Amino acid sequence: MSETPTPAQAMILWRLLGRQGTALNSEILPKKPERDALVRAGLITVEKEGRSSRLTVTDGGWRWAGEHLRDPLPPAMRVLQDWLTRLHHHLDATGAALADFVGPAPERVAPEPKAPKVRKKAAPKAKPAPKTETTANTIAAAPPEAHSAPNRLRARIEEAYLACTGGRKAAPVRLSALRAALADLDRAAVDAGLAAILAGDETIRLTRISDPKALDAAERAAAFAPAGEPFHEIWINA
């Protein structure tokens, strides 16, 4: 061996030996000058592996480590030095080698080859539909469902109202009860139906309850307030 490791270089060796003699450079992150000095001294080898490099302790590195377990380390590494000294006494008492104590490194599994990238072909652009002039005929051809949706919503509201009153009209129904009877519709849909009623359905009225004590939290939450003033009840007169 042409060079004696410095304490910093020895720390790299101990880290590698703690990993059974081999590790990726990215796992222990040694400083390049110290790593290269260990390579020149014949204590470790460096070989390319994937995007990193693999560092492996040589036979000379193992031999040096076994003979220098009691070498001084930096003051910050006093705990490690105590353990290495204890290990030295154990090996000396048992006659075992350092390599026997550390054990062999696990077999390395070769990485699976990456599948070649396949470029996806761009989907052909769809041709724009031919433009058609908007005429009275095309407007008239609109599906009847588009015009009947508000009517269906109005009918649903009346069905729910009658379910709440037991079939009677001209009786007040709290909007909290109405919304519960229309639980399959979301709030926006029910609000749209109530807004259409306010816009011009003379057979239905929405009224307010001015006494706050007459309202609980559920009824306040169910109120319909298109302009900030809440409505709490619905009446169907005909």
Q: What is the pLDDT of residues 107-155, one digit of tens each?
A: 665 555 566 666 666 666 666 665 544 443 433 444 454 446 778 888 9
Kindly report the pTM of this predicted structure: 0.45
Q: What is the pLDDT of residues 154-169, one digit of tens each?
A: 899 999 999 999 999 9
Residue with tokens 């054990």: 103
DSSP 84-145: HHHHHHHHHHH---HHHHH-PPPPPPPPPPPPPP-PPPPPPPPPPPPP----HHHHHTS-HH
Q: Say what percent of the chain tops pLDDT 90.
A: 53
DSSP 217-232: HHHHHH-B-TTSS-B-
Task: Supply the pLDDT for residue 141.
Answer: 42
Task: Supply the pLDDT for residue 111.
Answer: 56
Task: Supply the pLDDT for residue 46.
Answer: 96
What residue ranges define each of the domains in the chain, with the CATH number in brackets?
7-102 (1.10.10), 149-236 (1.10.10)
Q: Pairing mode, if any, of strands 204-207 and 233-236?
A: antiparallel
Return the SS3 of 8. helix
Q: What type of residue sits at position 88?
A: H
Burial annotation 91-125 (CB, 10 A radius, 16+ → b, else e): beeeeeebbeebeeeeeeeeeeeeeeeeeeeeeee
Backbone dihedral region of 85: left (phi > 0), alpha (psi from -120 to 50 degrees) or beta? Answer: alpha
**CA distances from residue 235 to 49, 68, 131, 178, 195 in whole angstroms, order as listed:** 80, 97, 48, 11, 14
Average of per-residue pLDDT values in the chain:
84
Residues facing 53 on adjacent strands: 48
Task: Supply the pLDDT for residue 1.
Answer: 45
Residue with tokens 């919304």: 179
CA atoms of 62 and 205, how far apart (whole Å):
94
Which residues of the chain, if any, have pLDDT below 50? 1-2, 132-143, 145-147
What is the DSSP-derived secondary structure letter of residue 4?
A: P
